[in-house]
Amino acid sequence: MPLAFGTYILPVPGSLRKVRSAMAERRARPALSPKKHAWRRQPPPPAVPPAGDDPTAPPDGLQPDGAGIVHAALYRGGHRVSTPDSLAETFRQLREYPDGMAWIGLYRPPEDEIHSLAAEFDLHPLAVEDALEAHQRPKLERYGETLFVVLRAARYLDAVEEVDFGELHVFVGQDFVITVRHGAAPDLSVVRRRMEEAPELLALGPEAVLYAILDSVVDGYAPVVEGVQNDVDEIETEVFRGDPEVSRRIYELSREMVEFQRATRPLVGMLHSLMAGFAKYRTDEELQRYLRDVADHVTHISERVDGFRQALADILTVNATLVTQQQNAEMRALAEAGFEQNEEIKKISSWAAILFAPTLVGTIYGMNFDHMPELHWVYGYPFAILLMAAVCTSLYFIFKRRDWL
């Protein structure tokens, strides 16, 4: 009987068939132990995992631009039974355990490894092509008996106040899970360790691993949201403080929110598609609970991201208004200063003209030519003084009437 991923169907592994049969025989059995299924609420593991114990992160010595298989593990009944050191060994052991499940972690794999996996697990060429090429949009597609899921993980870099996005491709089949990572996030070793601590959940098969991966990616958005919230609060303070560099910061954060929205918004539709097939395909009740919880988190985060974009747009508008007001105030101050300067220049010019008149008269009569009639005139000196006074007085009243003085 096939097991549903919403409206997508996957065959049930042998171990999952046993679980389903037991559930059918014991409908009234108690729910799974909260302790065993509290893996999402357990404290995070150590920051540095043991060497060779990470199915998705590059091992020691692998450069960031390196590529290839990172880790592979074989599970039966929710417990790890083998850790193959190559793809060929993984394929061989999986054939020996028909009821087993393989989880293969890859980091920017070369084409030969992807094609080897495609030949072994009958992966669709279009999905293989997408897995080799990064920069895919988040999506969930079914190719025959295999689900292909693309997720965009995110992490907040507090030192540089940036959001770093990673891309994860997941192939989910009857008895295998293949994760192909392009970028630093997410760290799926955390998911694997927590799943191994809940063997009853892991025993539900590949779809339980997919749910756990979805939950890990969505939970990784929470620190990003908090970091962005802090940035928005700081930006609001800087805007009203008049920081000239705040416009650039608003623009850069707005661009990151566009990318964040592209990563989170498609997940809402993907998860609702999965939930739509619960009743029809009798998806395990425990997995239903987890998926609903993940869907709630995605919806909440998507709404907050939309709120951030709107808030940043409003802040940018307010900042533009404040900048315009500041520029108008500066222009008004410059105009007032220019007006005051013009007034001073008019006063100086007026007094200069008034003082120039007696200077001109005195200069003319100071030439001392013999044939200047006024030089030998009895009233020549009073006449010159009166002439200078009359000219100065006339100029004074003229400038006063024009408000130059």
What's the CATH code of the domain at 363?
Answer: 1.20.58.340
Distances (CA, A) of 281 to 2, 23, 24: 8, 15, 14
Domain end among 207, 228, 243 = 207
Q: Is residue 110 part of a domain?
A: yes
Domain end among 207, 223, 239 = 207
Q: Which residues contact 206 (CB under 8 A, 6 or more apart)?
A: 10, 13, 101, 172, 173, 174, 175, 176, 177
* Element at 98 (helix H, strand E): none
CA angle, corner 184, sides to 178 and 186, nearest 5?
55
- Among residues 19, 14, 20, the alpha carbon closest in space to that of 281 is found at 20
Sheet holding 68-76, edge to edge: 79-82, 68-76, 101-107, 176-182, 162-172, 146-157, 139-143
Separation of alpha carbons 400 and 395, rounded Å: 8
Domain end among 160, 192, 207 = 207
Separation of alpha carbons 105 and 378, rounded Å: 122
Separation of alpha carbons 255 and 261, rounded Å: 10
For residue 344, give its domain range.
Answer: 338-401
Contact of 188 with 179, CB cutoff 8 Å: yes
What pLDDT tens digit does each residue of the chain (405 aa) get? 344 444 333 433 443 333 334 334 433 333 333 333 344 434 433 333 333 334 444 443 333 334 566 778 999 888 998 888 888 888 988 888 888 899 998 888 888 888 888 888 989 999 888 888 878 888 888 888 888 999 988 888 877 777 888 889 999 888 899 999 887 767 888 888 888 998 888 888 888 898 889 988 998 898 889 888 988 888 888 888 877 778 888 888 888 888 888 888 888 888 887 777 666 656 667 777 878 888 888 889 989 999 988 888 888 888 888 888 878 888 888 888 888 888 888 888 888 888 887 888 788 777 777 777 777 777 788 888 888 888 888 888 888 888 887
Separation of alpha carbons 245 and 249, rounded Å: 7
What's the CATH code of the domain at 100?
Answer: 3.30.460.20
Burial class of residue 191 in the structure, from the number of CB atoms within 10 Å of its CB (0-12 exposed, 13-18 middle, 19+ buried): buried
Q: Is residue 268 part of a domain?
A: no
Q: Is residue 267 part of a domain?
A: no
Separation of alpha carbons 127 and 141, rounded Å: 9
